[in-house]
Structure 1
Amino acid sequence: MANWSHNVDDIFAGDQATALAYATPAGGVVCTPVTNFGQRDRSTATIIVNSSIGMPGKLERIRRNPKVALAFHTRAHGFSDRVEYVLVQGTASLSPPIPDYPSTLDSWEDFDGPRPTAPLWKHWLRVYYTRVEIRIAVERIAVWPDLNCTGEPQIHGTPTPAERPPAQRPPANGTRP
């Protein structure tokens, strides 16, 4: 279980645009945007982001292999002006779909603005507003001093493995187009 600093907590509270990385069945990794509304619990080292049910493949892959990473990689959207790049690693669990998820959050309009009220928009956005919480039990946090990830990261929680895997061999036909 990882604990984090007040500076990192400011990033968790204020960044809306985050990238969630999860494993594919073929052993690759997919990075996809998820929405952060500042939900976290330092006492249990938990961060909650959410995703629309409109991406069932992503959700099924996370159910099969819950080891995920979450990158707080930009300050372009949100309320934090911190300069650090933060990478969270942990184990995800998914909630059942929550209809009208925005109504469960006090912070929805702070991040996403007012919701449309016209009946047509309510109908069209019902899938978007039906969301699944992705609750991440934080195991490790790597914090780089800037968004370019220069320098050595500061590690909170489980130490990184001392041994690195061997480098891949170069592509047989080179890297030219």
Structure 2
Amino acid sequence: MTVFLILGLVGLALLVVSLVVGEVLDGVFDALPGDVFSTAVIGGFVSAFGFGAAASDAAGLPLLGTLAIGVACGVVVGWFAAWLTGLVRGGGSDGTPATDDSIGRSGRVVTAIPDDGLGTVRIAVGGHVLQLNARADAAIDAGTEVHVTDVLSPTAVRVARVWDELP
């Protein structure tokens, strides 16, 4: 039981180090497929394995059952750590949205768009409000809801009335 408790404490320490310092084993497991092995995943697995096995050993289970329960606990916590790590790493950035991000988004005309000229539209992209020059196939009055169909330049888009594209 002492060995399992020590493993649990070592895994917990590794998990804390990965949370405070960052990825300690960065690059060690790059040869393996996927991004499953990280310091947080290994720390979570070892910690759950140690504590799960210690608890089942204290309950009087035979060694084989103790190891099976430890591995099951380790796999569950390791999977959860991998999922959380992937969620955090794959999260959005606070980067500035580009004009290309506005394609397919809806917005409103701020300055009327004439037949052969530019007006302006406001479009919300990722929590940011972009005000862009806009061109349309037909004149559109201010206040009309539109959506972006194409990017003409870094500061200009082509828009269409929302109801123009409905079947």
Fold match by TM threshold 0.5: no
The TM-score range, normalised by the shorter chain, is: under 0.3
Higher RCO (CA < 8 A, seq sep 6+): 1
With the length of structure 2 as denominator, give the TM-score of the two structures: 0.21
With the length of structure 1 as denominator, give the TM-score of the two structures: 0.20
Higher Cα radius of gyration? 2
More strand by share: 1
More helix by share: 2
